[in-house]
Chain A
Amino acid sequence: MNKGTGVGTGPTAAAAAAAAQKQKTMMQRVETDIASIVDNFTQLVNVARVNDPPVRNSQEAFMMEMRAGRMVQAADSLLKLVSELKQTAIFSGFASLNDHVEQRTVEFNQQAEKTDRMLARIGEEAAASLKELESHYYSSAQRTADTA
Chain B
Amino acid sequence: MDGNLEISLDKLPVKRLDAIEENGLERYPPESSYDEKRVSLIRRIDFAWAVEDDEERERKKKQKKSSKDAGATWQWQSMVENLQLAHQELSVIIDLINTVEANDAVTVAGMTRPKALPNEVLSDLAVSAATKLQCYRHLGKYFKQSAKALEQQIAREARFYGALIRLQQNWKVKRQRVAAPASSNDGFTIDLFDNSLYDSTAMSRPSFLSTIRVEHHSAGMLAINLPPNSCRFIHFGFVGVHSADTPKESSKIRTHGSVEHPTRDMEKESMNDDECVKETHSLLREVHQSIFDDQVFEMVNREAFNQSVGVNVTGIRENYLQLSIGQGTSLFISLVPSMGDDQSVDTVNAQNLEPAIVPLNSFDDIKLGEGKHDTPKNKWGFPNRISCEIYLQQIVHEHAFVKAKDRPNLSGTRVSGQSGKDGCGLLGHFCLSLAHRIFSNRVLMELENVVCRVPYLHLMTHPTWHSRTSSWTIFMKVPQSILHVESQSPKSDFQNVKDAIKSQFRTKVVVNDDRINVEGEGAPNVVGLFKRSSEDICSVNKYDCDLADLPVIILQQVASQVIRWLHEEALMVGIKTNRDFLCLTFELEQGDTVSLVAHVDPEDIQGCISWWLVMEDGFAEDWKLQMDMYDGASEYRKFLGHLSLDVLYTTLMDLVSLCGGGGNH
Assess whether B28 is interfacial by the CB under 8 Å rule: no
Count of chain A residues with a beta carbon within 8 Å of a chain B beta carbon: 46
Interface 1/0s, chain A 85-112, versus B by CB < 8 A?
0110011000001001000100001001
Q: If A79-B153, A109-B408, A147-B479 touch, does A119 touch B168 (CB 8 Å cutoff)? A: no
> Contact check: which of A54, A57, A116 meets B410 at CB < 8 Å?
A116
Chain B positions 24-75 with a Cβ under 8 Å from a chain A Cβ: none
Per a CB cutoff under 8 Å, which of A50, A58, A86 touches B125? A50
Inter-chain contacts of A60 with B (CB < 8 A): 132, 135
Pair B458/A135 contact, Cβ less than 8 Å: yes
Q: Which of B157-165, B556-564, B609-617 contacts A (4 or more CB under 8 A)?
A: B157-165
**Min distance, Cβ B291 to any Cβ of chain A, angstroms:** 18
Tell me whether B465 is interfacial, beta carbon within 8 Å: yes
A130→B462 CA distance, assembly (Å): 9
Q: Which of A3-11, A18-26, A28-36, A64-72 contacts B (4 or more CB under 8 A)?
A: A64-72
Which residues of A are found within 8 Å of B128, using beta-carbon distances? Answer: 50-52, 54, 57
Q: What chain B residues lie within 8 Å of A61 (beta carbons)?
A: 131-132, 135
Whether A54 contacts B124 in the complex (CB less than 8 A), given A44-B139, A135-B460, A147-B456, comes out as: yes
Contacting A90 at CB < 8 Å: which of B168, B455, B646? B168
B278 contacts chain A at the CB level, 8 A cutoff: no
B411 to chain A, nearest CB (A): 10
Contact A104 B170 (CB under 8 A): yes
Answer yes or no: A39 CB below 8 A from chain B CBs.
no
- In the complex, how many angstroms separate the beta carbon of B500 from the nearest chain A beta carbon? 18
Query: Is there an interface contact between A68 and B139, defined as CB atoms closer than 8 Å?
Result: yes
Q: Which residues from chain A contact B124 at a C-beta distance below 8 Å?
A: 52, 54
Question: How far apart sit A86 and B186, CA to CA, in the bound complex (Å)?
Answer: 13
Q: Are B413 and A68 within 8 A (Cβ)?
A: no
Cα A138 to Cα B463 in complex, Å, equals 18
Alpha-carbon distance between A60 and B413 when the two chains are bound, in angstroms: 83
Q: Which residues of A contact B131 (CB under 8 A)?
A: 54, 57-58, 61
Name the one of A54, A68, A79 contacting B142, with C-beta atoms under 8 angstroms: A68
Shortest CB-to-CB span from B373 to chain A, Å, is: 32
B169/A100 in contact, CB under 8 A? yes
Interface centre among A76, A104, A147 (most CB of B within 10 A): A147
What B residues does A134 contact at CB under 8 A? 458-461
For A50, A51, A75, the residue with the greatest tally of chain B CB atoms inside 10 Å of its CB is A50
Alpha-carbon distance A109/B168, docked complex (angstroms): 19
Q: Which residues of B contact A116 (CB under 8 A)?
A: 410, 413, 415
The answer for the CA separation of A58 and B132 in the assembled complex, in Å, is: 9
Q: Which residue of the partner chain A has the closest CB to B172?
A: A101
Q: Which residues in B have their C-beta under 8 angstroms from that of A54?
A: 124, 127-128, 131
Of A52, A130, A147, the residue contacting B455 (CB under 8 A) is A147
Question: Which one, B146, B169, B414, contacts A75 given CB within 8 A?
Answer: B146
Answer whether residue B173 sits at the interface, using C-beta atoms and an 8 A cutoff.
Answer: yes
In the complex, what residue of chain B is closest to A144 when comparing beta carbons?
A: B455
State the CA gap A55–B10 with chains docked (Å).
62
Q: Which residues of A contact B165 (CB under 8 A)?
A: 90
**Can you sample 9 A-B contacts with CB below 8 Å?**
A52-B125, A65-B139, A83-B161, A86-B161, A91-B173, A113-B408, A116-B415, A123-B414, A130-B463
Known: A61-B135, A147-B455. 9 other contacts (CB 8 A): A54-B127, A57-B131, A64-B139, A68-B139, A72-B143, A86-B161, A119-B414, A130-B463, A135-B460
Chain B contacts to A: CB under 8 angstroms: 124-125, 127-129, 131-132, 135-136, 139, 142-143, 146, 150, 153-154, 157, 161, 164-165, 168-170, 173, 175, 186, 408, 410, 413-415, 455-456, 458-461, 463, 465, 479, 644-646
In order of increasing CB-CB distance, the 3 nearest A-B pairs are A146-B455, A138-B458, A116-B413
